[in-house]
Structure 1
Amino acid sequence: MAVNSSDFSTPPLPASPLPLSSTKENLTPFGSKIAELNESRSELLGRIQGLKQDLQSWRSKLDIQVKVYRDELSELKKSLNTEVDQLRSEFQELRTTLQQQQEDVTTSLRNLGLQDVSGDKKEGQETQDTVVEENGDKESNVSTKEFGTKEAES
């Protein structure tokens, strides 16, 4: 089989090379585009730098504000604890005073109750003596004792 020159296609060679002026014209738009991109890049980097500074400033202000709030909360906590301790102390004093008053009232009531009981016993004995003298009967004597004792208990 014979190889035909038409089987291998090779592009035809240009008649003349491209002139230098046309390549410079083609490069000029790229150069201006690169200059614009560099300018945009610089502008964006400046904005990013400004945003970083703003963020750092906000963080700093926020840290200061948090510290101030923590200090205030700490002071409030100390104040609250002091007031709570004071209230506990006052309530303990009130409790002690109330217990003392309750003991005093209980003692007073016992003293009054003992006087009433001893007074009732004396009255019961007088009644008993009177009944025994009048009746001379032992059964009536026992019943008056029970009556006097019941009065003393109530």
Structure 2
Amino acid sequence: MASSDSPSSLPPTAPLSEQKENALPISSKIAELTESRTELLSRIQGLKQDLQSWRSKMDTQVKVYQTELSELKKSLNVEVDQLRSEFQELRTTLKQQQEDVTASLKNLDLQDVPGEPEAELIEAESNGKTQDLPTETADKETIN
């Protein structure tokens, strides 16, 4: 049995002081990792706050732009409506002027053709006689 008590047959165990030395680097590594983790969590929290602040600012900016765009749209619609109204008035005026010119041309053709009063007036003046010939307005009233 003396041979069974030999150092080679016992399971190898490190002395207690050696285990403490090995545990020290592990505990310092754990402390380092914990510190690093805390620092990373702190940075993540800061980034989350920055992101939330940025989103809030962007939401505010978007609302401001939407309000401005809405006001511009309303203003543009008012101007477009005014332009439409003005164009309609112009169309009406031009149409009326065209009708007036057409009517005037028709009246001129009717006055010149049947009796040709201008020729009669010239002839009467050359003879020294003054005659009352119908005026244009009288002719227009009879035609209309």
Of Structure 1 and Structure 2, which has the larger fraction of its residues in helix? 1
Deviation (angstroms), 1:15: 7.4
* 1:85 aligns to 2:99 (yes or no): no
Aligned residue pairs: how many? 110
Aligned to 2:16: 20
Q: Do the aligned partners of residues 64 and 15 (structure 1) sit closer, same or farther apart at CA in structure 2, a change above 3 Å counting?
A: closer
| Percent of aligned pairs with the same amino acid | 75
1:34-88 per-residue CA deviation (whole Å, 9 max, x = no partner) reads 0000000000000001001101111110011011001000000000000000000
Q: Using the alignment, how far apart are the partners of 2:110 and 2:49 within structure 1?
A: 89
Give the distance between the partners of 1:101 and 1:17, measured in 2 at CA. Answer: 120
**Helix, strand or coil for the counterpart of 1:68?**
helix
2:25 corresponds to which of 20, 23, 29: 29
Provide the TM-score with structure 2 as the length reference: 0.72
Q: 1:115 aligns with which of 106, 111, 115?
A: 111
- Please give the alpha-carbon distance, in whole angstroms, between the structure 2 residues aligned to 1:14 and 1:116: 147
The Cα offsets for residues 4-46 of structure 1, whole Å up to 9 and x where unpaired, read as xxxxxxxx43477321111011000000000000000000000
Q: Which has the higher contact order (CA 8 A, sep 6+)?
A: 1
TM-score w.r.t. the length of structure 1 is 0.67
Q: RMSD of the TM alignment (CA)?
A: 1.6
Structure 2, unaligned runs of 5 or more: 1-7, 120-144
What letter matches 2:35 in structure 1? E
Larger CA Rg, structure 1 vs 2: 1
* Displacement of 1:117: 1.9
CA–CA distance in structure 2, aligned partners of residues 16 and 86 of structure 1: 101
Q: Which runs of 5+ in 1 are unaligned?
A: 1-11, 124-154
Partner of 1:148: none
2:96 paired residue among 97, 100, 108: 100
One-letter amino acid of the structure 2 residue matched with residue 85 of structure 1: D
- After TM superposition, give the deviation of residue 118 of structure 1 in Å: 1.4
SS at match of 2:114: helix
Runs in 1 of length 4+ with deviation above 6 angstroms?
Answer: none
